[in-house]
Structure 1
Amino acid sequence: MWHRPDAFRRSLRLAVALVLALPLLPERVEAAPQRVVSLNLCTDQLAMLLAAPGQLRSVSWLAADPRSSVMADAARGYPLNRGGAEEIFALRPDLVLASTWTRRETVFLLRRLGVEVVELAPAQRLDDIAPAIREMAALLGREAEGEGIARAFTERLSALRSAQTGRTAAIWEAGGYTSGAATLSHEVLSAAGLRNLAAYEGLAGGGYLPLERLVAAQPDLILSSAPWPGASRAEDLLRHPALVALMADTAGLMLREADWVCGLPQTLEAIEDVKDAGTR
């Protein structure tokens, strides 16, 4: 039986319209992970900042140490892990958050066992922090929350940035350890309007600045950290008579180390502390 031409044309037009509409149909939305485990101090804190209740199942033990974590109190509410592959696999995660610094054997074994592991690079610049917040939010299916936090961070950072004052600051910790160019610490000093002595001396990344060079440079501000429990020969250098004499005539700031370790919204507190100390 033949179809009437007008009915056939209507059917053909409908079929064509449906084909053209296919690209407009919404894509299937991936379900957000529900059993997230973090292995790294920096991913720990970003995840705690952004995760929905019950979504994050474990963070690393370092996240509960107030000397290195700005979210130590929150971290104590989670099971803590030591980052071993067997330990993590037993938690049955559907997403593992790691750093590019996480032990290679752990990442390799978890992936061999079929666990999704995402490695996030640590922030080296202040301008890396907002994208890192958005990246973590996307992984957790919390884009709206991440966007709000990232925008607030960017706005406050813009308000805090200062013009260069011509004053010099030196980070000098146990053993003479310091941070040169291409580090988050360098970026904090620059945002506070100060010149980083280590970078001026040609150091890039972390390294050591001899006490003799520190004393000869006569910086306007010296930043150090409180000694850790126990004793070490590296910390004896912080009590050297030459440094004590220099500190007597130089502004100093005792670092809250946790504010400087990871690229987080709380990094802005470090900038404020340095700005306040640099104007004394």
Structure 2
Amino acid sequence: MRGFVRPSRIIAGWLAAMLIAAGAPVTAAPQRVVSMNLCTDQLAMLLAAEGQLISVSHLARDPRMSAMAETAANYPVNHGRAEEIYLLRPDLVIAGQFESGPTLQMLRRLGIRVEVLPPAESIKAIRSGITRMGELLVREDAAADLLAGFDRELARVRSDHYRGKAALYYANGITSGRNTLAGTILDAAGYENIAGDYGVDSTTGLPLELVVMAQPDRLITGAKWPGQSRSEAILDHPALKKLAPDTAEVTDRDWVCGTPFILRAIEALQ
């Protein structure tokens, strides 16, 4: 896959160490935790004590989406349905902001504690998410260690060198601006996001003509999924192929969630 660079052994080793560093749970900590969101799955797996996390979402096992698919294979999965989660007898359910409202309401009515974490779209939000997960699991020390390692590795991989202009362009002609996770990754890797040329800060559509007019030095697209999709047809447009020969088809799993795994995405762009 062009543009893909193997993550450093330092990052891989540090993340692996965080998976191993789990001691006995604190008495006041929740003992049966269920995560029903891909991004909370990964933070919970990084921070939970042994035996504390009893289920993760089914997406956590998908290697196309999850940076911890192999680790997730050790956990029972759930599909975000209130009935199946209730039968797991959790004392804490951790969900994402866009989880089904009726499901969360039903779980709360059944007397189950439900905590919702917003998506992390910036470095500051990623740090806050790590801290919050540590608080929910009563694993503050583990969260502090993870945070320190994240900050240390971010300082190492963050680039102050200007690498040129880059375009984030996905299926259906969607782009991501600076105030998104993808934009944060791009900025940390030393690229100027062309979305800023058109006043785009969030995730929205961008006409192909404007991408071409911006003349980016690098074009970054999402990995294509199996099968045929009209939404992805725009990515095969001849104008894009001629625009930036140094095209990187990103690995979605490192870009999907605001977790320490974005370090691998930043390094891959370099």
Same fold (TM over 0.5): yes
Shorter chain as denominator, the TM-score bin is 0.7 to 0.9
User: Which SS does the other structure have where 1:261 is aligned?
Assistant: coil
Q: How high is the sequence identity, in percent, across the aligned residues?
A: 49
Which residue, 256, 266, 269 being the options, matches 2:264?
269
How far apart are the structure 1 equivalents of 2:159 and 2:241?
Answer: 30
Q: Which residue in 1 is equivalent to 2:142?
A: 145
Matched, 1:254 2:233: no
Matched, 1:193 2:190: yes
Q: Which residue in 1 is equivalent to 2:132?
A: 135
Matched, 1:62 2:80: no
The structure 1 segments of at least 4 consecutive aligned residues displaced by more than 2 Å after TM superposition are: 158-164
How far apart are the structure 2 equivalents of 1:117 and 1:184?
Answer: 25
Superposition pairs for residues 1-280 of structure 1, below 5 Å? Answer: 31-163=28-160, 165=162, 167-247=164-244, 250-274=245-269, 276=270
- Aligned-CA RMSD value: 1.5
Matching residue's letter, 2:94: L
Structure 1 pair 124–226 and aligned structure 2 pair: CA distance change class (3 A): closer
How far apart are the structure 2 equivalents of 1:265 and 1:166?
Answer: 23
When normalised by structure 1's length, the TM-score is 0.84
How far apart are the structure 1 equivalents of 2:223 and 2:212?
Answer: 20
How far apart are the structure 1 equivalents of 2:127 and 2:234?
Answer: 37
Give the Å deviation of 1:199.
Answer: 2.7
Q: Which residue in 2 is equivalent to 1:15?
A: none
Give the Å deviation of 1:172.
Answer: 0.9
1:49-72 residue CA offsets vs partner (Å, 9 max, x unmatched): 111111111111111111111001
Q: Which moved more, 1:92-101 or 1:199-208?
A: 199-208
Structure 2 stretches lacking a partner, 5+ long: 1-25
Q: Which residue in 1 is equivalent to 2:3?
A: none
Give the Å deviation of 1:166.
Answer: 6.5
Give the Å deviation of 1:241.
Answer: 1.7
How far apart are the structure 2 equivalents of 1:207 and 1:169?
Answer: 16
Contact 2:178 2:187 (8 Å CA) reproduced: no
Matching residue's letter, 1:72: A
Contact 1:134 1:143 (8 Å CA) reproduced: yes
How far apart are the structure 2 equivalents of 1:187 and 1:239?
Answer: 26
Q: Which moved more, 1:91-100 or 1:199-208?
A: 199-208
Contact 1:183 1:205 (8 Å CA) reproduced: yes
How far apart are the structure 1 equivalents of 2:193 and 2:241?
Answer: 21
Contact 1:81 1:87 (8 Å CA) reproduced: yes
Matching residue's letter, 2:134: A
User: Which SS does the other structure have where 2:90 is aligned?
Assistant: coil
Matching residue's letter, 1:260: W
Give the Å deviation of 1:263.
Answer: 1.0
Determine which structure has greater relative contact order: mean sequence separation of CA pairs < 8 Å that are 6+ residues apart, divided by chain length.
Answer: 2
User: Which SS does the other structure have where 2:255 is aligned?
Assistant: helix
How many residue pairs match? The answer is 245
Contact 1:131 1:150 (8 Å CA) reproduced: no
Matching residue's letter, 1:135: R
How far apart are the structure 1 equivalents of 2:227 and 2:77?
Answer: 24
Contact 1:164 1:195 (8 Å CA) reproduced: no
When normalised by structure 2's length, the TM-score is 0.87
Matching residue's letter, 1:169: A
